[in-house]
Amino acid sequence: MEKVSGAAAPVHEKTIQVTIRTPAGHEAQFEVRLRERVDKVARDATRYFVERGLLADDQYSLALVSDNVARPLEDAARLEDYAVTEGSVLALVNKQPQIDG
């Protein structure tokens, strides 16, 4: 696993490390600020995985995974609104419905 750090955060903003997974199961460690909006974290993670060829370039949202259940997070909310903590697992979820055929 590779650790990914964002820009330096002011001392007063709490940063934590979380795992973010793609729908295919690829994962990486990300350092995030609890005050960050869910949509920003999703965009940053998407860019990271797309640049490495591990994810199709599309629009994704995040879900908080707990006890093997993924709970969707609202894009406009902040991570702290969902009690995301050090070591939490987040999953990228495609915003567009998947169409077979």
Domain spans of the chain, in order of start: 3-94
With the C-alpha atoms ordered 2, 18, 7, 48, is the resulting torsion angle positive or negative?
positive
Indicate the pTM of the whole model: 0.82
**10 secondary structure, DSSP code:** P
For position 98, what pLDDT does the model report?
A: 61
pLDDT bucket at 96, cuts 50 / 70 / 90: confident
Query: What is the tens place of the pLDDT at every residue in 1-58?
Result: 444 555 544 444 789 999 999 999 999 999 999 999 999 999 999 999 999 999 999 9
The CATH class given to the 3-94 domain equals alpha beta
For position 99, what pLDDT does the model report?
A: 63
